[in-house]
Amino acid sequence: MPAVFHEAGRPNQFDVLRQLAKLAADQEQLLLRTRQRVYGLEAAEALRSSGRTPRERIEFVSQYGEDMLLYDLLGHEPRGMMIEAGAFDGKHYSVSNCFDAMGWKTLLIEPIPEMAERARRNRPNARVEACALAAPNAPSHITLSVTGDALGGMLSHVQMTETQRKMVEYHKASVTPVSVPARTLSEVLGSQCGPIDALILDVEGYEIAALQGLNFAIHAPRIMLIEDNSRREESELSTFMQRLPYTQVGWLQVNRIYIHQQAGNELARARALKAALTPD
Q: pLDDT tens across 159-170, in order?
A: 555 565 666 655
Q: What is the pLDDT of residue 3?
A: 42
Share of the chain above pLDDT 90, in %: 69
Could you state, in order of their start, the residue ranges of all structural domains in the chain? 1-53, 57-277
Highest mean pLDDT among 15-24, 92-101, 135-144, 145-154 belongs to 92-101
Residue 189 near residue 182 (C-beta atoms within 8 A): no
Give the confidence band of 141 by pLDDT, cuts at 50, 70, 90. very high
Query: With 0-12 CB in 10 A as exposed, 13-18 as middle and 19+ as buried, what is 98?
Result: buried
Question: Beta strands of the chain (E only): which ranges?
Answer: 81-85, 105-109, 127-129, 132-133, 141-147, 156-157, 175-183, 198-201, 223-227, 246-252, 255-260
CATH class given for the domain over 57-277: alpha beta
pLDDT, tens digit, 9 for 90 and up, residues 4-27: 444 445 556 667 667 767 777 778
Full 3-state SS string of 196-233: CCEEEECCCCCHHHHHHCCCCCCCCCCEEEEECCCCCC
pLDDT, tens digit, 9 for 90 and up, residues 76-107: 998 999 999 999 999 999 999 999 999 999 99
Q: What is the pLDDT of residue 257?
A: 98
pLDDT of 172 above 90 = no
